[in-house]
Amino acid sequence: MNRSTRIFDLMICVCALAVCAASAIYPPGAVAQPATVQRSNGDDFRAVYASAADVAEGKRVAETACVRCHGAHGISTTPGTPHLAAQRAAYLYLELRAYQSGARSDKNMEGAVRFLSEDALIKVAAYYASVEPARPRVTKAAKGAAESDPVAAGRATAAGCAGCHGENGVTQTPGMPSLVGQDPKYLIAAMKAYKSGQRKHDMMKSLVAALGDADFSNVALYYALQKPARAKTPAGGNAEAGKSAAAACAGCHGELGVSTIPTTPSLAGQDAQYFAAAIKAYKDGSRKDETMKGLVAALDERAVKDLGAFFARQQPRPPKVRKPLTTAQWAARCDRCHGLDGNSTDPRLPALAAQRVDYLEKVLHAYRKGERKSPAMAAMSEVLTEADVEKLAAHYARQTARAVVYVTLPNK
Ligand code: HEC
Ligand code: HEC
Ligand code: HEC
Ligand code: HEC
């Protein structure tokens, strides 16, 4: 069965009291939350009322068949095995069905649910939904994942570069390149080339010697996000004459010097003296690049000056990079489906609050790799970085889990 088209058709109301005819009673501390997910008036739900006796029967199933992995009262102490306590009943039921049909595969779960009847699935789901949720655990991972902002880190590193490359990467010193308007890929490659000695420049080599890969990507991101401006340095030469010669460069460096190839630098607004020095370096081979060497071999000093003047006058543009989302910004997106702080109000969608951090990481990876199939989660998780996964898992593991009350009202 394809899970993406599977019909969500069940809402289990857990009635702990016999008098509860139309609403579900959840443990103390339950709160009603506004629904955050659009759904069609509930007509895709079929209400199944689980009585106290049904819940007790579900508990017996759990104690026989589930407790050794999922722990007493659904609080798991086994790495990789989720808490089930206070998870939404319809979600639990749907997942159990998914394991039975093979739509979701896990060798532990296959054996556990293979012989359970429909009735037992409903009752065990009702039982787990009705118990007190896990308390949030501040794990080591959660503490270690304290928010680190790559742009702020990049800004701190860039403070040591401003003396030569200018405030925010717009140079004011002839001979020093501007660093704004460049794709991070190019800047990172350039810094690595200095560090390894592949691009020869003793001063830059010593300046980046102490920086690691994370520093390179942070500082490159910082410069890429600064507002580009032309170098605040003089440019001699004849820009008009340079314009026609520049046609030969447009294929790689872009129309008007704004490159669209991440590994090829933009030339728009670049300092003219640095520009000339770079061409000279390609010519004499002190900066090694076969493509550029061939292209500039025929340029005389006049032509280089004119080209430099032309490019210096062009308006640099920001490269296509966006500030990465912080964990709080990501979580706000996840919460649209998973409820406030991961406390889902849609019975079909899992609560994430206070879930085990190792389990959250595991399933997010499984969605990313397509091992666990869900169109919604594939789209959400494929854009997450490894660090995002760790931080989001830690974020949800430390949220307080709250049960919800599903209120089913009579039509009239
Ligand atoms: C041998 C250990 C084991 C047993 C026994 C077991 N489970 Fe599980 N269960 C797991 C593991 C491991 C996972 C996570 C698997 C995955 O990532 O898909 C899981 C996942 C689940 C999930 C999915 C939870 C979620 O948040 O998506 C449900 C529901 C569940 N189990 C219910 C049960 C029930 C009900 C029983 C008893 C009838 C049971 N399990 C017995 C190990 C077990
Ligand atoms: C003392 C002056 C000085 C300081 C400080 C300095 N740089 Fe440079 N930087 C230069 C010069 C000069 C060049 C051109 C070297 C060459 O010809 O290859 C350069 C080149 C670069 C380039 C290559 C630009 C391009 O368009 O290819 C990058 C990237 C760079 N520096 C990054 C940094 C970073 C990051 C810092 C701070 C950690 C820094 N620089 C600090 C002087 C400096
Ligand atoms: C076939 C593609 C291609 C063409 C055409 C090309 N370039 Fe380049 N250019 C590159 C690449 C790739 C680099 C980066 C090489 C490196 O890492 O040193 C580069 C680097 C440069 C740099 C160094 C920029 C910096 O920030 O350090 C200058 C200056 C430059 N090119 C000028 C020109 C000029 C002027 C022309 C036209 C006459 C031209 N290029 C044509 C691909 C090209
Ligand atoms: C468009 C709605 C939607 C959004 C947004 C969304 N999810 Fe989900 N999520 C789902 C659905 C639906 C499932 C159940 C899929 C399944 O059956 O495997 C799910 C399942 C999960 C699970 C598995 C829970 C369990 O108990 O096994 C985790 C973890 C999760 N989502 C985390 C996230 C995170 C983190 C984000 C934000 C980056 C996010 N989700 C955003 C809809 C969404």
| CA gap 224, 73 in Å, rounded | 51
pLDDT higher at 117 or 23: 117
pLDDT surpasses 80 at 36: no
Q: Residue by residue, what is the 3-state secondary structure of 269-320?
A: CCCHHHHHHHHHHHHHCCCCCHHHHHHHCCCCHHHHHHHHHHHHHCCCCCCC
Give the distance (Å) from ligand 4 centre to CA of residue 123: 24
pLDDT surpasses 80 at 2: no
SS3 348: coil
Q: The domain 10-143+326-397 is classified under which CATH number: 3.40.630.10, 3.40.50.720, 2.40.50.100, 1.10.760.10?
A: 1.10.760.10
For residue 407, name the pLDDT band (cuts at 50, 70, 90): confident
Is residue 363 within a helix (H) or strand (E), and if so which, with residue range?
helix 357-368
261 lines ligand 3 (CB under 6 A): no
For residue 412, name the pLDDT band (cuts at 50, 70, 90): confident
Give the distance (Å) from ligand 4 centre to CA of residue 342: 10
| Rg (the chain; Cα; Å) | 30
Of the chain, the percentage scoring pLDDT greater than 70 comes to 87
CA dihedral 32, 37, 41, 46 (to 10 degrees): -80
Residue 129 CB-density burial (10 A; 0-12 exposed, 13-18 middle, 19+ buried): buried
pLDDT higher at 66 or 24: 66
Query: Is the Cβ–Cβ distance between 88 and 348 less than 8 Å?
Result: yes
| CA gap 261, 250 in Å, rounded | 11
Residues in the chain: 412
For residue 406, name the pLDDT band (cuts at 50, 70, 90): confident
In the structure encoding, which two tokens stand for residue 256, read together? 């008007």
Residue at token pair 């931080």: 391
230 lines ligand 4 (CB under 6 A): no
pLDDT surpasses 60 at 35: no
- As a whole number, mean pLDDT of residues 32-36 equals 41
In the structure encoding, which two tokens stand for residue 405, read together? 């009350």
Ligand 3 atom 24: the closest Cα is on which residue? 265
For residue 40, name the pLDDT band (cuts at 50, 70, 90): very low
User: What is the Cβ-side half-sphere exposure of residue 318, based on CA atoms within 13 angstroms?
Assistant: 12
SS3 356: coil
| CA gap 296, 277 in Å, rounded | 12
Q: Which amino acid is at 5?
A: T
Give the distance (Å) from ligand 3 centre to CA of residue 237: 19
Query: Is the Cβ–Cβ distance between 334 and 342 less than 8 Å?
Result: yes
Confidence (pLDDT) at 324: 85
| Least reliable range by pLDDT among 108-112, 138-142, 312-316 | 138-142
Residue at token pair 């809402």: 11
DSSP structure string for 18-80: TT-SSB----TT-B-----S--STTTT-EEEEEPHHHHHHHHHHHHHHTHHHH-GGG---STT
- As a whole number, mean pLDDT of residues 61-75 equals 97
| CA gap 254, 112 in Å, rounded | 61
For residue 277, name the pLDDT band (cuts at 50, 70, 90): very high
Confidence (pLDDT) at 72: 97
- As a whole number, mean pLDDT of residues 94-106 equals 95
In CATH terms, the superfamily for domain 150-313 is Cytochrome c-like domain (1.10.760.10)
Is residue 329 within a helix (H) or strand (E), and if so which, with residue range?
helix 327-338
pLDDT digits (tens, 9 = 90+) for 156-179: 999 999 999 999 999 999 999 999
| Least reliable range by pLDDT among 7-11, 153-157, 300-304 | 7-11
Evaluated on CA atoms 190, 195, 198, 200, the torsion sign reads: positive
SS3 232: coil
Confidence (pLDDT) at 8: 43
Model confidence, pTM: 0.72
Q: Quick check: do 10-143+326-397 and 150-313 share a fold?
A: yes
Confidence (pLDDT) at 28: 37
CA dihedral 122, 127, 129, 130 (to 10 degrees): 140
Confidence (pLDDT) at 166: 97
For residue 43, name the pLDDT band (cuts at 50, 70, 90): low
Query: Is the Cβ–Cβ distance between 246 and 257 less than 8 Å?
Result: yes
172 lines ligand 4 (CB under 6 A): no
Query: Is the Cβ–Cβ distance between 194 and 204 less than 8 Å?
Result: yes
Q: Where are the domains of the chain?
A: 10-143+326-397, 150-313
Smallest CA-to-CA distance from 340 within 331, 330, 327, 349 is with 331
Query: Is the Cβ–Cβ distance between 339 and 36 less than 8 Å?
Result: yes
Residue at token pair 């199944």: 48
Of ligand 4's listed atoms, the one at least distance from the Cα of 331 is 37
Q: What ligand is nearest to the CA atom of residue 160?
A: 2
Residue at token pair 């494929």: 382
pLDDT digits (tens, 9 = 90+) for 332-366: 999 999 999 999 999 999 999 999 999 999 999 99
Residue 242 CB-density burial (10 A; 0-12 exposed, 13-18 middle, 19+ buried): buried
For residue 411, name the pLDDT band (cuts at 50, 70, 90): confident
Burial 108-125 (b: 16+ CB within 10 A, else e): ebeebbeebeeebbbbbb
- As a whole number, mean pLDDT of residues 19-45 equals 43
104 lines ligand 3 (CB under 6 A): no
Confidence (pLDDT) at 212: 95
Query: Is the Cβ–Cβ distance between 33 and 345 less than 8 Å?
Result: yes
DSSP structure string for 69-109: HH-GGG---STT----TT--HHHHHHHHHHHHHTSS--HHH
- Ligand 1: list residues with CB < 6 Å: 61, 65-66, 68-70, 80-82, 84, 87, 92, 95-96, 104, 106, 108-109, 112-113, 116, 124, 350, 363
SS3 238: coil
